[in-house]
């Protein structure tokens, strides 16, 4: 075979690779509009399947939890399913009155409790009884299952995903049921009834151990943010602290919801089988009447500069895990794309990922290595986070050393062309390959429009990943992946309590 | 970059590993009685949700496809979609396990896995993986019952090199021998575990009872497959006129067409057309029982042949099954929810088939002893539908559920394009999905009663039970036939059906003896001490010292990760085991393993023709099989050096599960004039398990059997 024949197949494609505008069809099909009350909508029309996906992106997350009330933003994962003042009420007026009476009784109980040592035992007992009587009276007036049954009857799914910075309501809707979704979602935002609040709260509280404490990874990540952030609210776990959750109150949930689930603080992205004009008409009809409210302020607290590495040790015999977080700037920073490419170079794809190859394939130190370039949130300076499962027979110290060695390679010199190309391609693929179905498109549109104020940012980001240079990667590694910015959490087996005794078993 | 989070990352979920499950959606808070609701309040809130009027559900739209055929017969289905800079697709090949013979069952699966997994003529599997990663591209391959496919995904800017890799994999796979062995091991693993989950057993046996079509892969049939079988199977089916290439994404159709013409135009083959896919025969009636003493619950399924998409009644059957047992408001679910009902989890389904009729199935689970209740309950619900029509509301709800199930996945253009390609493949019109949904929409209450009467005769159902029972009395009369799902034993797994002869075995072994230094020199060795260090893939290092005295004394002393010290001794028939403090007799399966290890000690292995009790059989020019009782080791020689390069054998876990082990021997060094391997890589069930390095071998140290025999 001549050499020319060998290279020919590659040349054929020259004409295909002509620089055309990416995302053409998407750009043509996306419409955005803002209601007078400030609520933002982005609609991607796609008429394949007779369904559409919705992402209602609310800028209310655990960073907004008031002091002493961690877990408040999280509780809406369940609380929003209990219905509205009318949906789920057997007699709306009577129920509201009963719920308010119960709050009043609980206020009185709290007031007495707050007296501390001066609290009167007899009074407390009476107030407790009164509280439980009033709560019972309210309970019989509600049917908390009605809202979810209405969703189910319409074959609409509804999942609420709280995070540090925001809460997303995710739905898939059969397109002929569009109006039902607009009606239910708008009523939930405008006139929610958290009639199941205390049951939800006690459930979350009771299941905390199984959900969080007994999950080694959750404990490690909780310890990581707690140690890395001394001042910024990223300090608190998204799921809250059990002792805080146990005393959350319906009234403060109402206030929180009122303040943060306000129209101007919400972006709704819809992708799928719905005409933009219909979406607009339904949005105006159902979300339009919600009165405008002032936007809550962003978090002003600034995390003080870290002056040296921090290490936390957790004893756990179930799993040996290491989490390492490096302080990095927020997602609006120009280094955002660079750090994403750095992540891809280190762990993405199959063979050839630096950190995976070194720690897993070559040294067998780790059984898994994953990186989130942004954790726990993105709107404020956060962590470039590496999590590794330590292979049996090895220690978290060895793995941490392995990680810093790989990072040192990233810092020592600009990466070679092939590595850079690989990192860019994998980072870009991670973004682009989400834009293939309704759910993926709605998610990306919601985040770009919600965080950056304009979904077109998607195009800039996709482009910026392709423009990251080897020098930028090196500089970012030198700037951010340094001991001064590092917090490490080592989850190790406890040392043996007593010396193992010999003999006796013979 | 948070944009790339796969799930909204409240927590650990961001790391995808141990995250929390998302809440069940929609969740239903505990049993709130459906109290009569007063008309929901209106006020400023707009209409009440119950007053909304809905249009009819809309038909899904399939994308526009352009079809071409190249002169070599390759069919192209191209779907332009400029939403995102991506191209995805698949080559669909008319092949499948239906073309296998019983004595090579598993061949289609192996071939499917190896097209992508075995590298190409131009690239090793490792190089292929690295190149794909560097392009952000992906290629996968597989062969199922009635279709083979090689799928593809690439970024637009890397299309050229990605498509070139795809071409390489599809048209020039290399089926590297070591990858074949790995793929076989993983198939063995699948066979070993196929009875683990009783639900899987029930599903498989019910399908086999209704549509006996393909042969089940067994240890013997898989072991018999040679590289040549794979190569021939590939060549018989993977040729342009037997292939439809579906591509969807961000390209211009005309340019893509000419690119594909140039790229695939030279793909030639003189294969005869592949005969039409054989249709499965269909059986009805009867009852079977799979007796499982370990089953904690009774698993019951019953089915009759359903329809294909061209069957006029398929839509009505689908609606009927949905009314009976799909969704929380279906009749069977509501029945199972009653506190008086002993049956849990009653369900039904009737998805149409593409080639063969699907199965109209009703399934249920009960506690011990109540298997017949599932049959009675399911048939009772069926009889009610045969006796009288469903309500209009039931009909509407069922139609919508089917509509959603069929339509939902078409929001992904790549998947929708594959739906078009699949329609072509099975000879359906491009709009068969819409046609089917139209028929679903037209199903009437009377249709439901009619198909229930005509197609769902209770006597024709095949009833299957997997339970801790010795017998099962079919409530319809008669006893269930016992189905034995015991996996045919493994020994044949490592003995081939190829030309085997003692003569050839002797010849091959002699060659190995020559290569290692000569039989006489080997026979002169009286004992050997060998130190080995194993680095385990899952982490950890095991060290072991083996002391061997000719012909059949072995003491192994090692530290194993997670186990601690372990010493084993055998004199060739019995032995003991110890942890350094206490000891006991060596029992199976550890005895079997130790005797196997004795056989595989390098010196002992090469002298197998002189050790009593062992048989040596030739498999081919480079392969022999050594047997001692139920211990079998297959030895493959390096064709160049004549030294053993691979060992294949089976170990049993404590619970008797077979593990197929492959050792690759290398780094042969000279020890007192004898060549012995100083390195090996150990694979278990096709997955790399450890790297072993020999740190020291000493011969003729004057070891004494009575010393080795001493317990610590």
Q: Is this prediction's ipTM beyond 0.90? A: no
Q: Do B49 and A190 touch (CB under 8 A)?
A: no
The DSSP 8-state label assigned to residue A361 in this structure reads I
B475-480 mean pLDDT: 92
Burial zone of A136 (CB within 10 Å; 0-12 exposed, 13-18 middle, 19+ buried): exposed
Pair of tokens at residue B565: 């010290």
- Strand arrangement, sheet containing A382-390: A310-315, A486-492, A321-328, A382-390, A366-375
* Chain CA centroid to CA B672, Å: 48
Q: Do A159 and B416 touch (CB under 8 A)?
A: no
The phi-psi region of residue B46 (left if phi > 0; otherwise alpha if psi is between -120 and 50; otherwise beta) is left
What's the pLDDT score for residue A21? 64
* Nearest Cβ partner for A506 among B11, B34, B581: B581
Cβ-based contacts of A25 with chain B (< 8 Å):
81-83
A383-398 mean pLDDT: 93
Taking the C-alpha atoms of residue B317 and residue B449, their distance in angstroms, rounded to an integer, is 10
CB pairs under 8 A between A and B: 341
CA atoms within 13 A on the CB side of B517: 20
* Chain B touched by A15 (CB under 8 Å): yes
List of residues 6+ apart from A502 with CB closer than 8 A: B581
Sign of the torsion angle spanned by Cα atoms A486, A492, A494, A499: negative
Query: A residues 64-123 near B, CB within 8 Å?
Result: 74, 77-78, 81-82, 84-87, 89-92
Backbone angles phi, psi at B537, to 5 degrees: -65, -40
B178-188 mean pLDDT: 88
Pair of tokens at residue B290: 């799979």
> CA A163 → CA A166, A375, A444, B13, distances in Å?
5, 10, 16, 10
What's the whole-number average pLDDT of chain A? 91
* Cβ atoms < 10 Å from Cβ of B467: 25
The phi-psi region of residue B613 (left if phi > 0; otherwise alpha if psi is between -120 and 50; otherwise beta) is left
Rounded to the nearest 10°, the torsion over CA A176, A181, A187, A192 is 150
Reply yes or no on whether the pLDDT at B205 is more than 90: yes
What's the pLDDT score for residue B19? 27
Reduced to 3 states (helix: H, G, I; strand: E, B; else coil), residue A149 is: helix
What are the pLDDT digits (tens) for A257-297? 999 999 999 999 999 999 999 999 999 999 999 999 999 99
What's the pLDDT score for residue B273? 93
- Strand arrangement, sheet containing B138-143: B66-69, B75-80, B243-249, B86-93, B148-155, B138-143
CA atoms within 13 A on the CB side of A127: 17
What's the pLDDT score for residue B621? 76
Nearest to B207 by CA among B297, B142, B145: B145
Q: Do B49 and A150 touch (CB under 8 A)?
A: yes
Cβ-based contacts of A150 with chain B (< 8 Å):
49
Reply yes or no on whether the pLDDT at B652 is more than 60: yes
Helices and strands per DSSP (H, E), number in chain B: 20, 25
**For residue A13, what pLDDT band results from cuts at 50, 70 and 90?**
very low
Cβ-based contacts of A164 with chain B (< 8 Å):
10
Reply yes or no on whether the pLDDT at A2 is more than 50: no
> CA A247 → CA A68, A121, A203, B600, distances in Å?
9, 19, 12, 67
Taking the C-alpha atoms of residue B202 and residue B224, their distance in angstroms, rounded to an integer, is 28
Strand partners, B666: B679
Query: B residues 317-336 near A, CB within 8 Å?
Result: 328
- Min CA distance, B38 vs chain A (Å)? 7
Reply yes or no on whether the pLDDT at A454 is more than 70: yes
Pick the residue of B6, B13, B21, B25 with the most A CBs within 10 A to test the interface with A by mutation: B25
Q: Which residue has the tokens 């809406």?
A: A76
Reply yes or no on whether the pLDDT at B655 is more than 80: no
- Report the residue of chain B nearest A57, measured CA to CA: B8
- Report the residue of chain A nearest B35, measured CA to CA: A143
Cβ-based contacts of A447 with chain B (< 8 Å):
2-3
């Amino acid at each position: 075979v001549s050499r020319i024949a060998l290279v020919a197949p590659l040349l054929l494609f020259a004409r295909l690779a002509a620089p055309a505008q990416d995302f053409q069809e998407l750009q043509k099909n996306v419409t955005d509009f803002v209601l007078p009350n400030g609520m933002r909508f982005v609609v991607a029309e796609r008429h394949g399947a007779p369904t559409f996906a919705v992402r209602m992106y609310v800028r209310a997350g655990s960073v907004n939890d008031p002091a002493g009330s961690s877990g408040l933003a999280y509780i809406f994962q369940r609380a929003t399913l209990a219905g509205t003042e009318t949906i789920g009420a057997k007699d709306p007026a009577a129920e509201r009155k009963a719920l308010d009476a119960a709050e009043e009784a609980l206020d009185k109980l709290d007031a007495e409790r707050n007296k501390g040592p001066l609290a009167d035992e007899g009074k407390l007992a009476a107030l407790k009884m009164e509280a439980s009587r009033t709560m019972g009276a309210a309970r019989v007036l509600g049917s908390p299952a009605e809202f979810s049954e209405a969703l189910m009857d319409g074959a609409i799914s509804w999942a609420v995903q709280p995070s540090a910075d925001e809460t997303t309501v995710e739905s898939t809707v059969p397109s002929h049921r569009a109006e039902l979704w607009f009606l239910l979602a708008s009523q939930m935002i405008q006139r929610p009834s958290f009639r199941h609040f205390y049951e939800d709260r006690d459930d979350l509280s009771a299941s905390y151990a199984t959900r969080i404490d007994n999950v080694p990874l959750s404990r490690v990540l909780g310890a990581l943010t707690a140690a890395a952030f001394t001042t910024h609210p990223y300090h608190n776990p998204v799921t809250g602290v059990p002792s805080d959750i146990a005393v959350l109150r319906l009234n403060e949930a109402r206030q929180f919801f009122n303040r943060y689930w306000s129209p101007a603080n919400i972006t709704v992205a819809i992708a799928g089988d719905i005409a933009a004009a219909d979406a607009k008409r339904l949005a105006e009809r159902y979300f339009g009447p919600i009165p405008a409210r002032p936007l809550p302020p962003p978090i002003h607290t600034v995390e003080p500069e870290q002056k040296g590495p921090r290490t936390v040790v957790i004893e756990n015999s179930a799993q040996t895990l290491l989490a390492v977080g490096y302080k990095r700037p927020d997602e609006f920073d120009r280094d955002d794309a660079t750090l994403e490419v750095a992540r891809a170079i280190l762990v993405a794809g199959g063979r050839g990922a630096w950190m995976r190859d070194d720690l897993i394939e070559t040294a067998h130190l780790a059984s898994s290595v994953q990186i989130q370039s942004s954790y726990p949130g993105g709107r404020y300076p956060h962590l470039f986070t590496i999590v590794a499962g330590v292979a049996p027979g090895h220690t978290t110290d060895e793995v941490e050393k392995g990680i810093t060695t790989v990072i040192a390679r990233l810092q020592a010199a600009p990466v070679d062309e092939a590595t850079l190309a690989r990192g860019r391609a994998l980072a870009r693929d991670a973004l682009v390959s989400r834009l293939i179905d309704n759910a993926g498109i709605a998610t990306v549109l919601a985040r770009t429009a919600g965080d950056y104020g304009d979904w077109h940012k998607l195009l800039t980001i996709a482009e910026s990943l392709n423009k990251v240079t080897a020098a930028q990667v090196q500089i970012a590694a030198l700037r951010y992946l340094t001991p001064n910015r590092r917090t490490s959490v080592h989850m190790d087996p406890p040392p043996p309590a007593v010396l193992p005794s010999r003999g006796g078993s013979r | 970059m948070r944009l790339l989070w796969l799930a909204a990352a409240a927590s650990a979920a961001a790391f995808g590993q141990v995250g929390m499950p998302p809440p069940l959606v929609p969740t239903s808070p505990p049993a709130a009685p459906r109290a009569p609701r007063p008309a929901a309040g209106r006020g400023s809130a707009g209409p009440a949700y119950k007053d909304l009027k809905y249009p009819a559900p809309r038909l899904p739209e399939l994308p526009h496809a352009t079809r071409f055929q190249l002169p070599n017969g390759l069919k192209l289905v191209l779907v332009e979609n400029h939403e995102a800079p991506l191209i995805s697709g698949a080559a669909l090949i008319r092949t499948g396990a239906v073309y296998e013979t019983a004595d090579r069952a598993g061949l289609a699966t192996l071939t499917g896995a190896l097209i992508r997994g075995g590298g190409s003529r131009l690239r090793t599997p490792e190089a292929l993986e690295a190149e794909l990663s560097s392009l952000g591209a992906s290629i996968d391959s597989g062969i199922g019952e009635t279709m083979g496919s090689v799928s593809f995904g690439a970024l637009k800017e890397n299309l050229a090199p990605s498509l070139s890799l795809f071409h390489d994999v599809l048209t020039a796979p290399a089926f590297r021998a070591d990858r074949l062995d790995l793929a076989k091991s993983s198939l063995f693993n699948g066979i070993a575990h196929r009875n683990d989950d009783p639900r899987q057993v029930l599903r498989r046996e019910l399908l086999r009872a209704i549509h006996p079509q393909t042969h089940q892969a067994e240890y013997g049939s898989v072991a018999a497959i040679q590289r040549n079988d794979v190569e021939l199977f590939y060549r018989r089916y993977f040729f342009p006129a037997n292939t439809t290439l579906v591509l969807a994404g961000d390209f211009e159709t005309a340019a893509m067409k000419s690119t594909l013409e140039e790229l695939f135009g030279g793909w030639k083959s003189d294969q005869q057309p592949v005969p039409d896919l054989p249709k499965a025969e269909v059986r009805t009636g009867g009852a079977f029982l799979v007796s499982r003493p370990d089953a904690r619950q009774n698993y019951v399924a019953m089915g009759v042949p359903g329809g294909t998409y061209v069957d006029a009644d398929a839509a009505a059957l689908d609606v009927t099954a949905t009314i009976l047992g799909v969704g929380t408001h279906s009749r069977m679910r509501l029945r199972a929810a009653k506190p008086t009902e002993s049956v849990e989890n009653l369900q039904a389904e009737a998805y149409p088939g593409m080639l063969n009729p699907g199965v109209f199935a009703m399934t249920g689970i009960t506690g011990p002893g109540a298997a017949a209740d599932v049959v009675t309950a399911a048939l009772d619900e069926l009889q009610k539908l045969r006796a009288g029509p469903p309500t209009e509301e039931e009909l509407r709800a069922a139609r919508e559920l089917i509509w959603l199930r069929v339509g939902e996945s078409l929001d992904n253009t790549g998947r929708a394009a594959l739906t078009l390609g699949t329609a072509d493949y099975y000879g359906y019109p491009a709009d068969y999905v819409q046609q089917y949904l139209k028929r679903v929409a037209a199903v009437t209450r009377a249709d439901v009663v009619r198909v229930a009467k005509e197609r769902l005769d209770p006597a024709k159902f095949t009833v299957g039970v997997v339970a801790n029972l010795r017998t099962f009395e079919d409530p319809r009369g008669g006893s269930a036939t016992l189905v034995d799902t015991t996996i045919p034993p493994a020994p044949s797994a490592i003995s081939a059906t190829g030309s085997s002869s003692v003569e050839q075995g002797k010849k091959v072994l002699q060659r190995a003896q020559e290569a290692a230094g000569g039989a006489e020199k080997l026979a002169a060795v009286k004992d050997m001490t060998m130190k080995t260090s194993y680095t385990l893939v899952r982490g950890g290092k095991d060290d072991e010292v083996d002391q061997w005295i000719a012909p059949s004394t072995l003491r192994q002393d090692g530290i194993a990760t997670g186990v601690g010290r372990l010493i084993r001794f055998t004199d060739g028939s019995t032995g003991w085991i110890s942890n350094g403090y206490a000891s006991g007799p060596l029992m199976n399966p550890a005895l079997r393993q130790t005797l196997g290890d004795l056989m595989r000690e390098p010196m002992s292995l090469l002298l197998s023709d002189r050790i009593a009790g062992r048989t040596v059989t030739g498999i081919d020019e480079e392969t022999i099989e050594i047997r001692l009782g139920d211990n079998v080791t297959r030895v493959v020689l390096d064709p160049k050096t004549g030294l053993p390069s691979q060992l294949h054998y089976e170990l049993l876990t404590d619970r008797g599960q077979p593990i197929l082990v492959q050792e690759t021997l290398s780094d042969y060094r000279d020890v007192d004039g004898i060549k012995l391997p100083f390195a090996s890589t150990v694979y278990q069930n096709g997955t790399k398990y450890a790297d072993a390095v020999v740190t020291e071998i000493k011969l003729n140290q004057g070891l004494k059997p009575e010393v080795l025999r001493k317990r610590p």
